[in-house]
Structure 1
Amino acid sequence: ARRDGLAVEAREDAARRIAEIVLSRPEIAKADLVSAYWPIRSEVDVRPLIAALRDRGQAVALPQVTPDGLVFRLAAEGDALSPGGFGLSEPGPDAPVVDPRVLLVPLAAFDRRGHRIGYGKGYYDRALARLDAQGRALAIGIAFAAQETPVVPDGPHDRPLDGIVTEAGLIHPTGD
């Protein structure tokens, strides 16, 4: 992925800028609970953003891969994380399962329509469909600007993101 070629300092600077943008968004600030992710591979490191959300008094959930798909579990500061599927670090089985209304979503690539490429299993699309059944959840992609691509192939079950935050700013998807 193009993000792999970014220098460490550039990645850290970009992650700080992304965190500033996310934290400045009113729709994020008013959420009692925000689902984030623990970074793997060369994903944007949102761990400082998670700490900032908690410092503001917001609860944070992290995804857990199960045989039935993604579930989201509360992840309080200091909670031990366990190794999970795909190299993920996940909350333990005793952490409460929650249904977040605001999600920060990792991705490998995105386009201006709000479509994303994940890791090919459709976990987030299915989880968002389940959450959207209770009223549309706010799904914000988190990426480096270098991950933008002209067109991401999409299918009937692909759920576009409501926004994408990169170090260059917030992208409002066109949806077409």
Structure 2
Amino acid sequence: MTDEREMKKTLRRETLARRDSLDPSWRSKVSFHLARWADELAPSPGAIVSGFWPMRSEVDVRPLMAALQERGARLSLPAILDKTTILFREFLPGAPLVDQGFGTMGPDEAAAVVEPYLMLVPLVAFDQRGHRIGYGAGYYDRAIAHLKANGHAHRLVGIAFDCQEVERVPDEPHDVVIPEILTESGLRRFASAG
């Protein structure tokens, strides 16, 4: 287990360096380009979609979230409760946002807690099997497992740049496989994920 964690740390460091080196204006163009996938991703009207407030050099999913909202989706953002737990709060236009830590923002405690149908999942690295590396805290792995156990999170779509693909992500028992990844090259579906 220690070897896998060390390999993940190395992959995380190397992949973040590649992502950080991308031109900021190009990253912005890609973020708007991904919004064109809204028709393919949009759940039925009224279904809840969780996005995320971008941090560091992540893909900015806010244009995609806005496009999904135009197609009838209700939006949510993660809220960090403690060192192990996130939940999702409804994100309404004009509602106050508060600092969630790590450079992210989210709805305040007055916002309704919701359970998403479609989750746009942030990641640091991914492989062609749909395995991902996050930032190392395991928030999303635990949140997805909890939501799936309660009959939610029916569709998981990782959001990344192509440069975040690695040859192989080391497997750990708690890791959640992401069946679809959206990058500037398009939407990829992984046969081994499920």
Task: Give your verdict on TM over 0.5.
Answer: yes
Q: 2:101 corresponds to which residue?
A: 85
Q: Deviations over 1:132-157 (max 9, x none)?
A: 11336211000011111111112011
Q: Deviations over 1:99-130 (max 9, x none)?
A: 11110011111111111111101110000101
Alignment partner for residue 136 of structure 2, among 120, 131, 141? 120
Matched-pair contact (CA < 8 Å) for 2:127–2:168? yes
Alignment partner for residue 17 of structure 1, among 30, 33, 51? 33
Instruction: Provide the alpha-carbon RMSD of the alignment.
Output: 1.6
Q: Deviations over 1:39-91 (max 9, x none)?
A: 11100011122222222232100001112501000010111110012222011
Long gaps (5+) in structure 2 = 1-15
When structure 1 is superposed on structure 2, of 37-46 and 64-73 the one drifting more is 64-73
Asked whether 1:30 is paired with 2:47, we answer no
Matched-pair contact (CA < 8 Å) for 2:90–2:112? yes
Alignment partner for residue 159 of structure 2, among 131, 142, 149? 142
Matched-pair contact (CA < 8 Å) for 2:42–2:68? no
Identity rate, percent: 46
Residues matched between the structures, number: 174
- What stretches of structure 1 move > 4 A for 4+ residues in a row? none
How far apart in 1 are the matches of 2:44 and 2:116? 13
Q: Compute the TM-score of the two structures, normalised by the length of structure 1.
A: 0.92
Larger Rg: 2
Asked whether 1:111 is paired with 2:123, we answer no
Letter of the structure 2 residue corresponding to residue 19 of structure 1: A
Q: Compute the TM-score of the two structures, normalised by the length of structure 2.
A: 0.84
